[in-house]
Each structure stands twice: as C-alpha cells, then as structure tokens.
Structure 1
Amino acid sequence: MEYKCITRLDEIAAYLEGAKLIAFDFETSPTEKYRQDERAALDAHKAQITGMSFSVAEGSAVYVPLTHKVGKNAENPDVILQYLKKTLFENTQVTKVAHNLAFEAMFLYAQGIVLQAPCYDTIAAAQLTLKSKWEFRGLSDSGLKLLATSLFGAEMPDFQTVTSGRHFDELDPQEQETIRYACADSDYTLRLYHRFNGWFDRFLPSHRYIAEKIEAPTAVYCGIMKYNGIPMDKATMLKKQAKAEEQLSRMKTEIDAITGGIHIGANASTSAFKQYLYKDLGLPVLKTTEKYQEAADDQALIMLRDWCQENKPELVRLFDLIQEYRKWGKLKSTYIDGYLQHINTATGRIHPDLMPLGTETGRFAARNPNLQNCPRKDNDPVGVRSFIVAPEGKVILSLDFSQIELRVGAFYCRDEKMLKTYRTGGDIHAQTTSVIYNIPFAEAVDKNAKGYKERRTIAKNCNFGVFYGLFANGLQRTLQFKAGLHTTKEECETIINNLKAGYPGLAKWQNETKTSAANTCYTETWLGRRRYLISMLSEDWGKRSFAQRCALNTPIQGTAADILKLVCGRVIAGLPERPWLKPLLQIHDELIFEMPNDKVDEAVRFIKSCMEAKPFPEFDVPIVAEAAVGDSFGNLKELEV
C-alpha cells in the first residue's frame, strides 16, 4: 500500500492533479465544548474535520491532517479547504466518491461547500447490489469495514482499536497506524466504486444509473437537511406537554369510573383491558390478531363501538374515551416527549436521520425521530406541526407534488380518460366520481349535488387504492375506518368494477404487470429500480396476494420516489448561488425549506422549476407542485403562482 501523510498544498495538488475520479473520507473529532458528548464526533455542529484522506488509484492514498492536537498538521488549512472546494468538491468535471456521502456532505456544508455532481455514494451502491439471489443488501450489510473484509479480504482495524478510547485528533497523524487507518477508508471506497460498477454493468445496468444520478445527489441533499435541522419552539412544546398530561389524567379518571379502575396502561391495550371487554362485559369478538386472539386495536374498538351503538348504547362513551385516550397518548409520547428528547443542545433544532434507501420502493425513511409521520392538522388537537417555527425574519416554505402517484399511475396505465384529465388540468376525483357512479361529469363536480361529499370521498379512496390492487374488503375497511362511511361489500365490489370498466387501461395494465412479475419474480420502477418478489410463486394465497400488490405498488410509488430524488439533485445544483435557501425536511411528496422573508418569490420559482421539470423523456403527464408559506409548519398558507 502506498499510504502517506502530506501537509503542504503543493503535495495535495500534485497527488490530485489530472485525476477525474477521486475517493475521499473525513476523520472528525468533537470541539472542546463537546468532548464528553458520546456521539459529538458525528455532529457537524459539535465537531470539526480532523483530517481528510484521498485516493486516486487502488492501493494509493494520502492523509491530510488539519486539526490534530499532536504531531504536525497541514499548513494553512483554510487555504487548503478553499483549494479543494474549487478543484474537487464543487468541480463538475471530477467524480467524487465517498462511503456514506451524506456524512461528508454535511461537514462540507458546515464549511460553506455544497458538494456537486458527479458524485457517488458507495453505501448507496452497496444497497443496490444483491447479497443473495433474491435479496439486496440492507444498511446493516453495507458498512465499509464489513464490505472491505467480505469483498477484498482486507484486514481493517476498527475505530476503537486504533483510537484506544481517544478522539481521533489525539492521535499523531505522522504515526503509521493513524495513516493506515485514515488512508484505507478512501482506498477501499475507491475499490468499492469499481467493484460495484462492474457488478452493475454485468448484472443490473439500471442500478448504476440510479446509484450515480439519483441516490448520490440525494445523499448530499440528506446531509444538508441533517445539518440545517428543524427549528423547534421548545417553550410551546412544554406547554402542550402539560396540557396533554392534564387531558390524559382527566380521561383516565372518567375511564376508571366506567371500568372500576381496570389497568389499561399507556395505550389501553393491556391483557386486563381485553379481559374486561371480552370476559367481564361479554362483548363479541369481531376481530382477532394473527395468533387468533381477541384484538383490541383501533379497528377492533371501532367495530365494537358500532356494535354497542345498536346493542349496548351505554358503552359507547367508553369506546369514545378510549379512542381519545389513545390519540392523546400517542401525541404525547411520540410527538411531544419523543421530539423533546431529540432537540440538539448546540442548535435547539432536531436533526433527524434521513435514509433515502429506507424502503423497498425507494421512498425515504426517517428516524431519531421519524419526522415523516408528523400528523396533519385535521387529526391533531395538539398542533404538532406548529412546533416547527421559523426563526425571526425567516419563513417556512413547503412545495408539495400534487397527486404525483396518481399522475404516475396514469402514465403507466395509458388510460385515455386519466391522461386527458391531467393534460387539461381537470379534476381526477370528479372524473372518478363520474366513472364509478355513471353520472355526468358536470354533476360530479357540482358541490350542491345530492351525495356530493360522500361520493367524492369514495372516489378519492378508490383513486389512492385501486392502482395497488384494492379488493372490495379492503375498500370497505378503508371507507369505514378512515372516512367513517358504511358501505356493504357488494357496494364496494360494484364501485371497483365500475372503476375498472370506466378506466379500461387500468385493468389492462394491472393484469400485464402481475403477469410479468409472476414470470420474472420482480417488479421495477420506470428507471429500473428493481424489487424482487419471490412470493409471486408461493402457494400461500396471502403471500402471493401481497406480492401481487407489491408488483403494482412499486412501479408507481417507486417511480414517484425516483422523481422526487431527481428534484433533490436539481436543487443541489442551484444551492451554491442561493446560500440563503435551507433545505430542512422531506415528507413523502413534499420538500420543506427555510429562507428569509424577502426570498420567497425567488425560491418558489426556482424550486417549482426543479419539481415540475420532465423527469425522463418518456414522461408525458404534467407535473404540478403546490407552494405554501408561513411562520410555522402548522400555519402555512397556499400561494397562487
């Protein structure tokens, strides 16, 4: 191995000169204030870059120490960083490769550098390659040390062994073990780049495009979002916490008065509560768990309430209280107590982990905390979204795709009525109302028409479910538990049959897609993101049915996810000239930003242009992004643009 430590700018320039592909890696250490914080080295608000390693060829790497407390550091670190910004990190002629690119992008962003494409994240590439015939690697299978050992037989010492409990800046950068550890990371990252691309080119070329053009820029975007964090109003959260405790106490007292003090626990799901319902009260078992025991989830309680309405009306109040108790308990534990635990002591903000490959369809997932499940205003008496408040002089801006999955569905199934509706700016829910009730379109859009609200609610639920192979039972449950509508199974069967008859392209696409998945045991997005569905061959109807729904779901939901990730790349390209624009969060089809009050119009124009651009040449359905702005996330007003 040709690993060495260099400290002069001319040495760095000589090593990188002429290279069009450069792997890099950062070592980080906490600043003085946070030396005792266990995870501070991973937080760009509590840590700094200790040193950088670079590799331009396999078996070769250099380490550039910047802020070590012992040994010799590089001369003029700020000058070196500005040199690297221009010649490497924001240079669109050089491919930058890192393992966990979001981490490096976050630390660069802290230095005012927005990493630009072309770039490549080997941790994302790992998750796009197979570890067995039918299974892609997960995040836990994609650590650098694990991959270097399993794919190259390398002996990679772990961080704890090298540091012996010290921070990295307490190591001597001129010692061979320090150099070897730092350089090996960038060297083996470069090797993984070649290994994975060789695998893609041989077995799954579309995944190379996804790794290079979609997932890598998205990783940079995630690093920037994590650095910016979510501004939280802690004082309001504490007030709401006290209110929630008061509400829960009041409801618990009333529940105890009805039940005689049965122990219901934090979520009213204890075995004692179930025994009270089914043994003491003798209520019928209307739903069971997978283990065929009495259920006490929300659906079961709604069904029991409906039964009691007819048979034991004196118990209806109990079920109403239990539902409210559960709702407030969830709001308090998840969205108040849970969020408060994650407020960063350095910033007063929450910096969640966003995982762009956290689901099999390619949609984002989030943790620590999961801010993607932030409740909407219409089902939230606490006002959780109002915890997210812009700093003084700033605003929160949201841009949300309008019905992106339905538009993608129309693109796939090629149904003329759907395509015409979107191409003419029509109302797809009204069109579906017209189709399933066999009424004129004019009546379907008439808000004063008899049954308008109920019909439109049913049409919406059909639109959002039927692309994914919704059955009558599923539609019936959805309408009952989500919309409060009571329809018979026969009525739901008629609705679905009418829908398929009215949109002939839909049923044709569904049948072709399921047949193809049965033959290949996989499904794909339009850009080739693959999901294996071995259960298509199962003799178990339940498993096979689930695989069939995945075969329909993944092309639509996954393609919509790919479209959003392509947007992230376009936004990244425009950030260097818009340093005031701060990406904060992604929730499903929505991107959320923070910016000065006087920059809203410019931001909306730029972001809409990124979102409404044609994602790939074949896509022929208009894409619409809707903007809303406010001083808090819970107080957004739609903008007419």
Structure 2
Amino acid sequence: MNTEYKCVTTVDGIRDYIGGSSIVAFDFETAPDDPYREEDKAALDPARAHIVGCSFSVKEGTGIYVPIAHRVGTNIDKDAFFAFLTAFLMNTTTIKIAHNIAFESSMAYARGIVIQAPVYDTICASQMSLKSIYEFRKLNESGLKRLAEELFGEPLPSFSSVTDGKHFDELDAQDEETVRYGSADSDFALRLYHKFNDWFDRYLPKHRYIVEEIESPTAVYLGIMKTNGIPVNLPLMQERKTEAENEMERIRKEIEFIIGDVNIGANCSTQAFKNYLYKDLGLPILKTTETNREAADDMTMTLLKEWCDTNRPELSGLFTLVQEYRKWGKIKSTYIDGYLKYLNPVTGCIHPELFALSTDTGRMNCRNPNAQNMPRKTNDPIGVRNFIKAPEGCLILSLDFSQIELRVGAFYCRDEVMMDTYRKNGDIHAATTSVIFGVSYEEAQDKHSENYKEHRTIAKNVNFGTFYGLFPRGLQKTLKFKAGVEKSVSECEEILFNLKHGYKGLTSWQEETKAEAARRMYSETWLGRRRYLPGITSDNWGQKSLAERCSLNTPIQGTAADILKLAITRILAGLPEREWLKPILQIHDELTFIIPEDRLSEAVAFIRACMEEKPFPEFDLPLIAEASAGPTFGMMEELED
C-alpha cells in the first residue's frame, strides 16, 4: 500500500487532518531526560523520559507525525499541543486506538492525563484472536512489527535501524525517515483495529466486546498503576536483609553440623544434597519429579520428616532446618533482593509490570517483580508487607471482593442452598460445614461447638475446590499440606459424597459443563471469554482430566476476573475528578490505592460502589467489597461498613 505521511507542527494542522473522525489511532515516541541519557531503557520510564513526538492516523495508509521535543528541526508549540492532547485523550466520544495503550497511558498519566474510554488496544485484540484453530496469540507474538508483516505483508524498519544508536529526539524532526517511522505506528495500529474487528465480527463477536469494553480500559488502568508504583520502606528492607542473611548463616551451620561438608547450595536442592539423602543415608524416595528423578521440593521434605519421625527420629531435625533455611532464602531472594533489584532510584518506588491477558482465564499476573505473591498477613514472619509503606499523610487502601469465585460458582450452578446463603448475607463456610458434617447451620457457626475449628478448616478448603472437580485423594493432599488436617481417603470420599448431596445443583452443573465443553471443545466465561480445550476428548486420562478441570475453572475464575476488570473500567472513568486517588496494585480479587488520610471515607464509598455494581444483567447475587486501610500493607485494619 502506498503511504501518505507528513509532518505537522501546528494544532490547526492536527485538527485539519483528524477532521470529524471519531476513530483515531495515536502513538508516542519518547526519549530519556538529560540525566538518564546513558541508562538502558530509560526512554520507557515516565519518571526518566519525556514525549518527543506523537503521531495520529484516521485513514489507512495515511498519518501525521507531530514533533514536540526534537533537538533538530522544528517542533510544535509544546503548551498548545499538550492542551490539545489532554482534550483528545479525555474525549469520551472519540475511539482512541493504540498498540500497547498501557505505555501511552503511563506516559500521559505522568503529565496528569487520564485517558478515557472509548479506547482500543490492538495488542489486547491480538491476544484475543486465534493464531491457529485452538491457540490464541501470546503477548510475545503480538508486537506491531511482527503483526504488520504477518497480517499485511509489510515489513517495518526497526527502531535501531532508524535511530542508528541515537535517541529519538536527536533525529531531525522533518526528516522523511523520522516522519515515516513515527507515522507508521499509528497507521498500522489503525489497520490492525479494522483487521481484528473484522475477524472478531466473523468468528468471535464476544471477544470484540471484551477488547473494547473490558481489556482496553483495563490496559489504560495498568499503565496508571505502573506510573504510580509501589512506595517502599528502604531502611526496613535493608534491615530485614541483614536479618535474613544472619538467619541463613546460622541455619547453614546447624545443617553442616549434621551432614558435614555436603554442598547444599542456596536452596538445599543440589544433586550433592539429594545424593546424601538417598544414597548416603539410604532414605526412601517418596516423591519423584516429572522426569522420574528423586524430588527434593518442600512436599518431599515434609514427607521425609514424617518418615523419619517414625523410622529415623535422629534425622527429623534436619528436615525442619532445611525448611527453615528455604523459608529465609525465599524471603531474601524474592521479597528483599527481588524487590530491591527493581527499585526506581528516581521515584523510590518499585514499578511492577502487570499483564491482563497472560493467563488462560483472564486473571492478571505480575512480574519485575511479582508483587502479587507476597505472603499473607497471617503468614508473614518477617513483615514483608510492611515493606510497602504509604507516604507521609497518606494511607494504603485496599478493597477486596469477598468470596467472589464462590459467589460466581453459586450463580452458575443455581444451587438454592448456596444462593440463599449469599442472598441473606450468610456464612458459606458454615453452610458447607452443615452440609458435609450433618450438623445444623447454627452449630456450624458456634465457635464453642465440638470440632468447630477442624470442621471449618475442612469446609473452607472444600469450598475453594468445590466447583473445580475435587477428587478424594486430591482433597486428602490439600487438607494435609495446606491445612495440616489428616484425613483418610475414605473420610474424604464421605466428605465429597455429602457435599454433592447437600448442594444438589453442584453435580448437575459440573456434569453439564464438562459435557458441553467436550461437545464444543472450549469453555467460556459468562461474557464470552473463550478458552479452547482440545485435550477434553483425549484418550489419555491425565490430559482429559486436566481439560475437564479447566472447563469448570474457566467459567468461574474467568467470570470473576471479568467482574474485577469491569469494576476497574468504572474506577478509571472516575479518576479525572479524583486526582488524589492513586491506584498502585492489583492482587487476585483485590485493588489497592494510595490516598490522603482525610479522603478515606470518600475513597471507600467510590471504589466500593464501582466494585459492587451489578456486573451484567443476569447476575443475581450480591457482590461484597471489603475495605481495609493502614500506614503499611502489613498494618491494614478492616474498615466497618
């Protein structure tokens, strides 16, 4: 296709090009600020970079490039441009298209601009479209240049070939290559918008709705969270690092006293240590790896300790020490060194990358660092959560959906006992205790009744696996290793038998869902987010069983993820008039913010309303968002309604 790209240096020129178009693609070019010119990837960090230019496209094959801060050539008046850009990005009638809009959102938010829907992220669209009969494109297969060549047969020049070692602001603003490179990004984003929407309309219309109404606004929100970052208490982290190193050295010496000079490495999982356990000591191999080698994971250490308690009691202490050593090693490597590695020296925060489409169910995940896997408050001996500390005069505020997957599961299976429990704001764990142990609901709630603690612990663990096809041996293993409760296989069989008979809607929903997935070869959320399951008709029992569990997991976990993202879109719409509300993190069913202390009630009311709103017309159970706040993430106190 012949292209018509030009350089524009006035706001009137931009308006003349865009005209009355309600669908506009845009893209930023960035460069590092002066102090950070030599730092790797500084151009991608809004704390260390600035917007050099912006391109727009309203018609395929055309585009304009607007230089803003080039060091060579003529630039547009900066104040006039950013006034225009603010109005454009916050316009609620124009569809704003970008490839990886999270980045554009991050750079815009650093200038105080909250991009407003309608928006369309072509990188999200790519990940929601199929590359083969059963496979969706992955993030690493969704780069603009790759898609341009794959879908349009047009290779685009690489950034390095255009810049030749320079930063983008060192290029001549009016040079033909500069204008072509800058404009092409918007042009091809617009082409992808039409290409993917044509594909969605033909093959997966519901995915178009999800891209437009859920995933693209969520991507904008992710960019805002990344810009805000997570404030940390650096002195406390350094203090805890010393403590962890001292503890690891102490435990290492105690292990060496028992086993001698065997190399245990950083995690007691070296081949030398395994040889010592299984060859020198002659301990039984109680668990193997997928490649049929001797295992040495945490479960193996627990099993070996139990075996030694009976058969070699003099060795039991070794496995207690190994688990302590590993615990301190994980704290140091994951939560101290792992966080410090990504501490931004400009902001004093860590800025993890959150991804909204990197799991099969649509749940978000996080990396660099993974801030979603912090230990829970009840299992945080070193106080990792206290590393996250609000600035002076501010609070950390979190709102967490209460039992959202159980509520979604009750909605799906239409079991009257479950639904009635939620409609009356009842206690689902007491209801399940009543069902599986044959006691009254009142007795199941009575903390002084016999076996209350054990029964409730079992009920909780059963509940969190109820909808996903629990098997007796799997339940036995879960209770033993996650809850510390010993039950025989026959006892677990009885628990599950009672569960199915007490929740009559559960079994029929599971069987119907698995059969429907086998017929269609996929499972999907209520809003139509699809997950293909080719293994569900396999002759291999393991593959078929896994696919069946996924067919049950996807509607529930995926719909819960959709509900959270819908809440995010509502919060995004309210951010422009709440500049003080700073989203910083998402963990599972929880959204976290930094707020001024005096805005607590206002913030809770707004966020709770966004989260508890009916997500779609058919959802007929109440959603509950529980709020907690505190000066650190580890000192959060639950707030009364």
The normalised TM-score by structure 2 is 0.99
CA deviation after TM superposition for structure 1 residue 155, in Å: 2.5
Could you say which residue in structure 1 is the equivalent of 2:498? 498
1:410 maps to amino acid = A
Cα deviations by residue, 1:327-380 (Å, 9 ceiling, x for unpaired): 110110111011001000110100011100110100001111111111112222
Q: Distance in 2 between matches of 1:70 and 1:505?
A: 70
Could you say which residue in structure 2 is the equivalent of 1:454? 454
CA deviation after TM superposition for structure 1 residue 316, in Å: 1.6
Could you say which residue in structure 2 is the equivalent of 1:220? 220
1:44 maps to amino acid = P
Could you say which residue in structure 2 is the equivalent of 1:58? 60
Q: Distance in 2 between matches of 1:360 and 1:27?
A: 32
SS of 1:444 mapped into structure 2: helix
CA deviation after TM superposition for structure 1 residue 310, in Å: 1.7
Listed as ranges, the matches of 1:519-530 within 5 Å are 519-530=519-530
Listed as ranges, the matches of 1:286-435 within 5 Å are 286-435=286-435
Q: Distance in 2 between matches of 1:574 and 1:435?
A: 43
Listed as ranges, the matches of 1:95-494 within 5 Å are 95-494=95-494
Q: Distance in 1 between matches of 2:155 and 2:331?
A: 48
Cα deviations by residue, 1:466-499 (Å, 9 ceiling, x for unpaired): 2111111111111111111111111111111110
1:68 maps to amino acid = H
Q: Distance in 1 between matches of 2:234 and 2:407?
A: 39
For the Cα contact (< 8 Å) 1:255–1:261, is it kept in 2?
no
1:552 maps to amino acid = L
Could you say which residue in structure 2 is the equivalent of 1:85? 86
CA deviation after TM superposition for structure 1 residue 17, in Å: 2.3
Could you say which residue in structure 2 is the equivalent of 1:27? 29
Could you say which residue in structure 2 is the equivalent of 1:16? 18
Count of aligned residue pairs for this structure pair: 639
Q: Distance in 1 between matches of 2:493 and 2:430?
A: 20
Unaligned runs of 5+ in 1: none
Could you say which residue in structure 1 is the equivalent of 2:6? 4
Q: Distance in 2 between matches of 1:230 and 1:270?
A: 35
1:543 maps to amino acid = Q
CA deviation after TM superposition for structure 1 residue 261, in Å: 2.7
Q: Distance in 1 between matches of 2:69 and 2:541?
A: 61
Q: Distance in 2 between matches of 1:127 and 1:334?
A: 29
2:606 maps to amino acid = F
Q: Distance in 2 between matches of 1:155 and 1:337?
A: 41
For the Cα contact (< 8 Å) 1:123–1:143, is it kept in 2?
yes
Cα deviations by residue, 1:25-51 (Å, 9 ceiling, x for unpaired): 000000001100110000001000000
Q: Distance in 1 between matches of 2:64 and 2:275?
A: 67
For the Cα contact (< 8 Å) 1:352–1:370, is it kept in 2?
yes
SS of 1:57 mapped into structure 2: coil
Could you say which residue in structure 1 is the equivalent of 2:47? 45
Cα deviations by residue, 1:35-84 (Å, 9 ceiling, x for unpaired): 0011000000100000000001111110110000000101x211221122
For the Cα contact (< 8 Å) 1:28–1:51, is it kept in 2?
yes
Could you say which residue in structure 2 is the equivalent of 1:598? 598
2:639 maps to amino acid = L
2:620 maps to amino acid = D
Could you say which residue in structure 1 is the equivalent of 2:575? 575
2:502 maps to amino acid = G
CA deviation after TM superposition for structure 1 residue 509, in Å: 0.5
CA deviation after TM superposition for structure 1 residue 326, in Å: 0.6
For the Cα contact (< 8 Å) 1:396–1:592, is it kept in 2?
yes
CA deviation after TM superposition for structure 1 residue 163, in Å: 0.3
RMSD: 0.8
1:116 maps to amino acid = Q
Q: Distance in 2 between matches of 1:263 and 1:487?
A: 37
CA deviation after TM superposition for structure 1 residue 271, in Å: 1.2
Cα deviations by residue, 1:280-339 (Å, 9 ceiling, x for unpaired): 222222211112222111111111111112222222211111111111101101110110
SS of 1:372 mapped into structure 2: coil
CA deviation after TM superposition for structure 1 residue 273, in Å: 1.2
2:634 maps to amino acid = G
CA deviation after TM superposition for structure 1 residue 440, in Å: 0.9
Q: Distance in 1 between matches of 2:284 and 2:444?
A: 40
SS of 2:43 mapped into structure 1: helix
Cα deviations by residue, 1:401-456 (Å, 9 ceiling, x for unpaired): 00000000000000000000000000000000000001111111110011100110
2:25 maps to amino acid = A
